[in-house]
Amino acid sequence: MKRFEPGFATLSGPRKTELDFSHDSRFRGRGLWPLAGIDEVGCGPLAGPVCAAAVILNPDQPPQGVNDSKALTAKARETAFALICESALSVSFAFATAAEIDALNIRRAALLAMTRAAAGLSVRPAYALVDGRFLPDLPCRGEAIVKGDAISLSIAAASIVAKVMRDAMMRRLAERHPEYGFAENAGYGVPRHLSAIEKFGPTPYHRMSFSPLRKPSEEL
């Protein structure tokens, strides 16, 4: 089977208040099944990993209340996460660490996390829908969709899994380093976090290639 190279998105569309399985069903009708949705979260923070998830939904039992994770409250995400894990045919998530982000750059690290998530699926997909502009290395054909988490139920489900799992990871890191407020800020550069970096310095979980952590000589 030919493996698609990374390419630009082919689809985009308006955001919906709630998604259904209509977009994804078209691929099943074309024989492109099982269908995986893939998304990532955590590209912007100063600390913590980027997390990606891959989800193959059950077409006979699509979860209710699923939308782009950013459009849901934390409580709604947790509820949707439980429904996804209960009903989906396969769910996988994976991380790329802060060290990998520094070594590769954030876009390549995010694609690496997506590749790992796709490889972790217990059901091999025939096709994948990936949120964004680029495709990771996949075990199947696929396409990238700009704002795909507002179009595809499978991608939206992956966005929820990735967000919930990354938030859980940041809470665990907060237990090790409570002074940075990771449980509340998810690693983003809010004032409390920046003050803690100035006072205590960075942790091994900080992204040293990100400003303001990057040294002036590295900005040239």
Binding site members: 39-40, 131
β-pair type (127-131, 141-145): parallel
Starting at the edge strand found earlier in the chain, the sheet holding 141-145 runs 90-96, 50-56, 35-41, 127-131, 141-145
Calculate the CA dihedral of residues 107, 133, 148, 93 and round it to 10 degrees.
-30
Measured CA to CA, the distance from residue 8 to residue 5 in angstroms comes to 10
Torsion sign (Cα): 137, 98, 132, 56: positive
Binding-site positions for a divalent metal cation:
39-40, 131
CA distance 46 to 37: 26
